[in-house]
Amino acid sequence: MMCKRTRKNIFSIIISITILASSVLYLSSCSPTYPKEKLPEAIKEILKGEYGMDVDVAVAGTTLGIYHPMKGLLDISLGISEKAWDQISNLILVASRIVLSTDADIKFYCVIAQDERLPEMQIVIIKYVNDVKRGMLRSIGRSESFKRTLFSLNLTPQARKERSVEQVFDKMGLAEDTREGVLNEFFRASPSKLSDMGYWRGHFYLKDITLREFLAAQIANRIKIDFGEDEKLSALYEFQSVEGYFSSRPGDNAFVVKFKIFDQSKPGEEEKLRAKKIEKIMQITNEVVNGYEFKEFDVLEMEDQLENIKLWITVEDVCNYSSGQVPIEDIVKASGKYF
């Protein structure tokens, strides 16, 4: 879970991005400063020339990826070091500066940082370019800009996958060339989910991010922050986990939110706390979809994994929801008794 120190550092970076974006857009001319044909090279040259940082750069559709290995990403407590935050800030600032001054169709950028000593651990930060622009124009505030930034510190997904397969190879006694062939054929592919993105052994595992999956991840991220760190909610609930993704099925496009949030209720209060929990998730989803004016879905599908119950709310009820107007129990359909 993101600590207060981490949030403070990200918040500071966002403020710097806003200031930089303002100057970049003000000074930009009709012709792009960084033509799309030279985009990767321009990023490498700027980061090397201005900050002495070696990076790898890739583009997947409308998503830009920047990877930087650094010394001392993590401190002795396995937290992010102050030096690392300075370098991460430089990566994000340059990424913002570039995408606001290029003719390349870049909608998202993803910054990945790993410790050279422990590349199995990575930091991934994802920003929506339009949010950077809106922050500069002050159509969204700094706090909202922070909420719209996806940040994760996790084990590198491809590393986990390959380490497990290599253990099987060792038992089988496979030769190195055979191992590489099998890995390339069956285990190295573009990620299907945002959570699978990363960098491993000289390869980007980057996907062309869509707005709908970005919003689904953002809904989950806001749920984690609110239930995990808000004092009032923490007194009522014990947050364990949340996952958000977008499911596109014939005639049924859904934001799917799976969660484990334990109700710390007294006897007789279970139904009341469950209703309040679902109402909070509903409010967060309402904030996100209305903030982006996104209505290209049919339903919000929630799954309480502790109760093994699924719940559904229509797009109309999600977008038009106002706390207190209608009891949440009246607009939610459930697969079993829940409230």
Task: Please tell me the distance from the alpha carbon of residue 137 to that of residue 57, in angstroms, as a whole number.
Answer: 28
Q: Which residues pair with 58 in a beta bridge?
A: 65
Q: Write the DSSP string, 2-16.
A: --HHHHHHHHHHHHH
Q: Which residues pair with 69 in a beta bridge?
A: 114
Burial of 184 (0-12, 13-18, 19+ CB in 10 A): exposed
pLDDT the model gives residue 26: 46
* CB-based contact 115:43 (threshold 8 Å): no
Task: Please tell me the distance from the alpha carbon of residue 29 to that of residue 13, in angstroms, as a whole number.
Answer: 26
E-assigned strands of the chain?
Answer: 56-60, 63-70, 108-115, 118-128, 150-155, 198-200, 203-205, 237-249, 252-263, 299-304, 309-314, 333-334
Task: Tell me the mean pLDDT per 10 residues along the chain, length 339.
Answer: 59 63 52 86 96 97 97 83 91 91 96 93 95 87 90 93 87 87 88 95 96 98 92 93 93 95 79 91 97 96 97 96 84 93
User: What residue type is 318 in one-letter code?
Assistant: V
Residue (of 85, 116, 99) closest to 33 by Cα position:
99
Cα atoms in the Cβ-side hemisphere of radius 13 Å centred on 337: 2
pLDDT the model gives residue 21: 56
Q: What are phi and psi of 309, to 5 degrees?
A: -125, 140
pLDDT the model gives residue 62: 98
Task: Please tell me the distance from the alpha carbon of residue 154 to that of residue 193, in angstroms, as a whole number.
Answer: 14
* CB-based contact 316:300 (threshold 8 Å): no
Task: Please tell me the distance from the alpha carbon of residue 279 to that of residue 327, in angstroms, as a whole number.
Answer: 9
pLDDT the model gives residue 5: 58
Q: Write the DSSP string, 304-338.
A: ETTTTEEEEEEHHHHHH--TTTS-GGGT-EESS--
pLDDT the model gives residue 1: 47
pLDDT the model gives residue 261: 97
pLDDT the model gives residue 3: 58
Count the Cβ atoms, other than its own, within 10 Å of residue 260.
Answer: 15
